[in-house]
Structure 1
Amino acid sequence: MSAEARLIAAGRALVEAGLSPGSSGNVSLRDGDRILMTGTGTRLGLLEPTDIAVLDGEGNQLSGPKPSKEVALHLALYAKNPDHRAVVHVHSPFAVAVSCLAPWSEHSAIPPLTPYSLMRVGQVPLLPFAAPGDPAMGRLITDSAFPFRGALLANHGAVVSGEDIERAIDSMVEFEEACRITVLTDGADRRLIAPDQVRAITGQWGMPWSD
């Protein structure tokens, strides 16, 4: 399957999972020296090859429509995780809800409630607010002291990177589920996974977690 076809399939998978309402969200993948990215204002479930912008490694446009305004966000996450080949950014309902709450801790907005988010994403810090499309969003990722493959953007949504587009989607699906459980248990007397078990799980699956 070509890189373009994989990006189109990814957009449809995100919509089918209920993670991309309307024309929100954007996806990119690295293909050699190119970055393929969904165009601005596109509906991820209805992507066509003509909706895909092609950029160089610095984010300069090579061909296709105008890319999503979140280019800086994607480039920063690729720089943070150089072995990753895909980035997914969505405005899914529970991720947005948690992005509007006080974070559980400095290093992770989501508490360790289930092993699955630890296995697929690890810690997800809450980054300060920046307006959509503001290049400062990229600097917030670059300047963060914490390692992460996923983060919440305050009052905005979620972003995650992965070794390939399929793993990035899997991570985002689990990210949203962890946010849903976080909302459902907010204000309750939660029982968290013990710190030694958190370290063991994230270590086994190679996911970032800071004590």
Structure 2
Amino acid sequence: MTDARHELVAAGRALSAAGLSPGASGNLSVRVGDLIYMTPTGARLEDLDPDRLAVLDARAPLREGHTAGPPPSKEFPLHRAFYRRDPGTRAVVHLHSAHAAACSCLPAWSRRSALAPLTPYFVMRVGQTPLIPYAAPGDLGQAHRMEALGFPFRAALLQNHGPITAGDTLARAVDAAVELEEVARLTLLLKDTAPRLLTTEEATDLAHRYGSPWEGAVD
């Protein structure tokens, strides 16, 4: 328990130092057994305290379950939606990183992935990343819609908002958030060009080898 809390604090500081979480934006959570430890509402990721994290009951309904500590980020239903979709999820990272947030304001590449397979590491570390229709931050309906999507994914872009990633460890969720920001940066650099994308065969091979969710442009 203590290690997970300190890991969350360290991840928050690293993401802030990398410029991926400006101001009081962004929120992180880790699941330990039946508890979820989450950054408090309004917290700056560089200022987190392992003894001042919100604590939620992982078994509670989407909108409920705050059991101890300060109030959680208003985005906690999105985090819980990821935990409910996949029992193997142990961490969720939501950022307002600039390039991924910018891409969330653009049309999606396909229904199952807002971003195209520009690089092998995007397919390997992130996988298909659906664009979730816009809703105000903290909207419960958006969390329900994300939970109900009928195909696998461990990252999404929240329309006109930013990225959210999940992983079976906090390190993998953070790595996915960093890689998502990088492929978003490349997407913007290449906008209005015709870049070479990974072929269906190339992307599918990587997905099979690395266990990442990828069905590409299937609609």
Shorter chain as normaliser: what TM range? over 0.9
CA deviation after TM superposition for structure 1 residue 203, in Å: 1.0
Distance 1:190 1:170 in 2: 24
Partner of 1:155: 160
Please state if 1:135 is matched with 2:140. yes
Count of residues paired in the alignment: 211
Partner of 2:189: 184
Letter of the aligned partner of 2:23 in structure 1?
A: G
CA deviation after TM superposition for structure 1 residue 145, in Å: 2.2
Instruction: Confirm or deny: 8 A CA contact 1:28 1:38 kept in the other structure.
Output: yes
Letter of the aligned partner of 2:139 in structure 1?
A: D
Partner of 1:29: 30
Instruction: Confirm or deny: 8 A CA contact 1:81 1:149 kept in the other structure.
Output: no
Partner of 2:73: 68
Instruction: Confirm or deny: 8 A CA contact 1:85 1:163 kept in the other structure.
Output: yes
Distance 1:146 1:179 in 2: 22
Percentage identity across paired residues of the two chains:
50
Partner of 1:84: 89
CA deviation after TM superposition for structure 1 residue 137, in Å: 1.9
Partner of 2:19: 18
Distance 1:195 1:186 in 2: 21
Question: 4+ residue runs of structure 1 moved beyond 3 angstroms?
Answer: none
Deviates more, 1:115-124 or 1:134-143: 134-143
Letter of the aligned partner of 1:158 in structure 2?
A: P
Partner of 2:50: 49
Please report the RMSD computed on the Cα atoms of aligned residues, expressed in angstroms: 1.1
Distance 1:85 1:75 in 2: 11
Partner of 1:97: 102
Distance 1:50 1:192 in 2: 45
SS of the residue aligned with 2:137?
Answer: coil
SS of the residue aligned with 2:123?
Answer: helix
Structure 1 gaps, min length 5: none
SS of the residue aligned with 1:74?
Answer: helix
1:108-127 alpha-carbon deviations (Å, 9 max, x no partner):
11111110111101100101
Instruction: Confirm or deny: 8 A CA contact 1:42 1:51 kept in the other structure.
Output: no
Deviates more, 1:158-167 or 1:47-56: 47-56
